[in-house]
């Protein structure tokens, strides 16, 4: 996480989080002897201890199907095997043998694990285990949440009203109050990090990779961390020290999306541009809802809901509502009977269009990255994968070519040569509103 460091990460690209206790005693692996005379005496004992240590994770967890992958890590389903109840979990496996990049992330991972151990809440992803001392890999085991994220949850809804939005807002305001009461600032609040259980009955905050301790009302953080369109003005407009209010700004952005169906601050670029900075620095006063551009999307939304959004998207962090204050806001405490009558079908349709465009834009950006990478490596090595654009990576770093079903299949022999018409289509889409 790197509290106080000057990392320039602006987009959270992390797999979901982390871990807990250590393994069992070494008696289960004792008595192994070396078959070679070269391993004797002290070195022989050292070798046996290392062999045991490297299999501590595997004595407790059985690894299953792959759930996701990154540059140095892979996320797989895992089942606990040393317990009467077979707990299903997700394990993030970071390969120590793929260069030294993992060492740069080691302190971040340990900080994330420490914070997740501290935060026990029904709406926060649970941490089961962590193994930092294995020889080949770091293993972080967390609760498996297969119900999708908040975007997907809303996309699947057939009807939608202000009670639905209020109930969701109440959950993440309650979670933020708990985090802030425990002096933790999350720094990456967004729908992508709000995951649902398999039965879709519970939503949990995940991904504490940017989370950091922040005591009381102090503003001591200086890192440029988060996801651009959810980042508060004090981080990007006039960079200064900041604290817990950055989470409340991000909460306002999420609430805006829940009620309006789109984000208040958007950019097609993967970096901070002047227009985005200017919009964020202006905040979102109530009058903005009545502008010609936005009024059609907000006519069905109550004035109380818009008032709460405006008080969360306040540029002055000292005037911005805290989580405790937001939970006392009139809209949060409006009766269910009243909120059910406030239909948001128009916002739901807007949200579904926005989400489809968001996913497609992400796929296009990923495709562009793939093409650039293939150009860098000459295309030859990529073509050896048999046409797949991704590779499954096991805990030892071995790769098996597969095709990601959510992305266009790339013909590796031709991917580096997009036709001018295709380039134009992609560019027009990325530049569209």
pLDDT at 97 (0 to 100): 75
Residues 124, 190, single domain; the answer is no
Quick one: pLDDT at residue 86?
Answer: 79
d(CA 330, CA 320): 16
Rounded to whole angstroms, the Cα distance separating 314 from 264 reads 13
Residue 120 lies in a domain: yes
DSSP state string for 154-171: HHT-S--BHHHHHHHHHH
Residue-wise pLDDT tens digits, 134-181: 888 899 999 999 998 988 888 888 888 999 999 999 999 999 999 999
Q: What is the CATH number of the domain that holds 331?
A: 1.10.510.10
Higher pLDDT, 83 or 23: 83
380 located within any domain = yes
31's tokens: 């008595």
From CA 225, how far away is CA 210, in angstroms rounded?
7
Which of 39-43, 73-77, 410-414 has the highest average model confidence (pLDDT)?
73-77
Residue 108 known to be catalytic: no
Q: Which residues, including other chains, have CB under 8 Å from residue 204's CB and lie 6 or more apart?
A: 122, 123, 124, 125, 143, 145, 194, 195, 196, 197
Q: What share of the chain is helix, strand, coil (3-state, %, to 5)?
A: 40, 15, 45
Please check whether residue 12 lies inside any domain of the structure.
no
Instruction: With a cut of 50, say whether residue 374 has pLDDT above it.
Output: yes
Give the CB-side neighbour count of residue 420, counting CA atoms within 13 A: 0
Task: Please check whether residue 311 lies inside any domain of the structure.
Answer: yes
- Whole domain around residue 382: which residue ranges? 351-431
As for how many domains the chain has, the answer is 3
Both 322 and 414 in one domain: the answer is: no
DSSP string, 99-136: -SHHHHHHHHHHHHHHHHHH---TTB--EEEEE---SS
Q: Examine the pLDDT at 233 and tell me if it is beyond 70.
A: yes
Looking at 292, 308, 343, which one is the last position of a domain?
343
Determine, yes or no, domain membership for 44.
Answer: yes
**pLDDT tens, 260-291?**
888 898 766 656 678 888 889 888 887 888 88
| 7 inside domain | no
Distance in angstroms (rounded) separating the CA atoms of residues 411 and 414: 6
Distance CA 8, CA 353 (A): 31
Residue 181 shares a structural domain with residue 292: yes
pLDDT top residue among 69 and 61: 61
Pick from 357, 323, 296, 20: which is nearest to 186 by CA? 323
pLDDT of res. 277: 85
Is the domain of 87 the same as that of 194? no
User: Rounded to whole angstroms, how far apart are CA atoms 140 and 199?
Assistant: 24
264 with 290, same domain? Answer: yes
Instruction: Please tell me the predicted confidence (pLDDT) of residue 199.
Output: 85
21 within domain boundaries: no
Task: Label residues 335-374 b or e (16+ Cβ within 10 Å = b).
Answer: eeeebeebebebbbebbbebbeebeeeeebebbeebbeeb
5 has a pLDDT exceeding 60: no
Residue ending a domain, among 278, 311, 343, is 343
Say which range, 38-52, 321-335, 365-379, has the weakest mean pLDDT. Answer: 38-52
Give yes or no: residues 334 and 421 share one domain. no
- Kindly state whether residues 329 and 426 are assigned to the same domain: no
- Selecting among 188, 192, 207, 247, the annotated active-site residue is 188
Element (H, E) at 240: none
- The model carries a pTM of 0.71
The dihedral region occupied by 21, where left means phi > 0, alpha psi between -120 and 50, and beta the remainder, is beta
Q: Is residue 266 part of a domain?
A: yes
Dump pLDDT digits (tens) for 296-308: 889 889 999 999 9
Q: Is residue 1 pLDDT above 60, yes or no? A: no
Is residue 313 classed as helix, strand or coil in its secondary structure?
Answer: coil
Determine the Cα–Cα distance for residues 121 and 143; give it in Å rounded to an integer.
13
Strand ranges (DSSP E) for 132-279?
A: 137-143, 184-185, 194-196, 203-205, 212-213
Does 339 have pLDDT greater than 70?
Answer: yes
Per-residue pLDDT of 100-127, as tens digits, reads: 666 777 888 999 999 999 999 999 999 9
Q: Of 182, 181, 222, 215, which Cα lies nearest the Cα of 2?
A: 222
Tell me: do 178 and 293 sit in the same domain: yes
**Contact in structure between 298 and 260 (CB atoms under 8 Å):** yes
CATH number at residue 100: 3.30.200.20
Asked whether residue 387 falls in the same domain as residue 424, the answer is yes
pLDDT of residue 363: 53
- pLDDT score of 316: 93
Average pLDDT score, the chain: 75
Cβ proximity of 156 and 164 under 8 Å: no
Give the domain-ending residue among 279, 311, 343. 343
d(CA 367, CA 426): 10
């Amino acid at each position: 996480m790197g509290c106080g460091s000057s990392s320039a990460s602006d987009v959270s690209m992390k797999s979901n989080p982390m871990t807990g206790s250590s393994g069992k005693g070494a008696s289960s692996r004792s008595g192994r002897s070396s078959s070679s005379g070269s391993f004797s005496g002290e070195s022989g004992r050292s070798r046996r201890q290392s062999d045991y240590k490297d299999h501590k994770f595997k004595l407790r967890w059985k690894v299953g199907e792959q759930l996701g992958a990154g540059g140095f890590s892979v996320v797989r389903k895992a089942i606990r095997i040393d317990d009467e109840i077979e707990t299903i979990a997700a394990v993030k496996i970071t390969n120590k043998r793929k260069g030294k990049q993992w060492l740069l992330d080691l302190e971040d991972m340990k900080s994330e694990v420490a914070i997740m151990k501290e935060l026990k809440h029904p709406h926060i992803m649970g941490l089961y285990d962590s193994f930092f001392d294995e020889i080949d890999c770091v293993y972080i085991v967390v609760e498996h949440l297969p119900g999708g994220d908040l975007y997907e949850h809303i996309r699947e809804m057939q009807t939608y009203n202000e009670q639905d939005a209020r109930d969701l807002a109440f959950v993440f305001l309650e979670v933020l109050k708990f985090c802030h009461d425990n002096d933790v600032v999350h720094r990456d609040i967004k729908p992508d990090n709000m995951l649902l259980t398999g039965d879709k009955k519970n939503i949990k905050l995940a991904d504490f990779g940017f989370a950091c301790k922040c005591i009381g009302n102090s503003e001591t953080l200086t890192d440029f961390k988060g996801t651009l369109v959810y980042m508060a003005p004090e981080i990007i407009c006039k960079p200064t020290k900041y604290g817990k209010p950055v989470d409340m700004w991000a909460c306002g952005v999420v609430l805006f999306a829940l009620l309006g169906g789109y984000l208040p601050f958007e950019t097609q670029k993967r970096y901070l541009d002047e227009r985005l900075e200017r919009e964020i620095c202006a905040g979102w006063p109530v009058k903005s809802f009545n502008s010609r551009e936005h009024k059609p999307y907000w006519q069905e939304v109550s004035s109380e809901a818009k008032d709460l959004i405006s008080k969360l998207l306040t540029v002055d962090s000292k005037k911005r509502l805290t989580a405790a204050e937001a939970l006392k806001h009139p809209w949060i405490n409006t009766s269910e009977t009243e909120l059910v009558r406030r239909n948001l079908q128009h916002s739901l349709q807007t949200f579904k269009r926005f989400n489809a465009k968001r996913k497609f834009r992400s796929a296009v950006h990923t495709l562009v990255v793939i093409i650039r990478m293939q150009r860098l490596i000459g295309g030859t090595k990529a073509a050896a994968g048999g046409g797949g654009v991704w590779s499954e990576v096991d805990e030892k770093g071995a790769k098996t070519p597969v095709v990601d079903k959510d992305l266009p299949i790339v013909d590796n022999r031709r991917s580096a040569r997009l036709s001018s018409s295709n380039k134009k289509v992609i560019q027009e889409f990325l530049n569209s509103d």
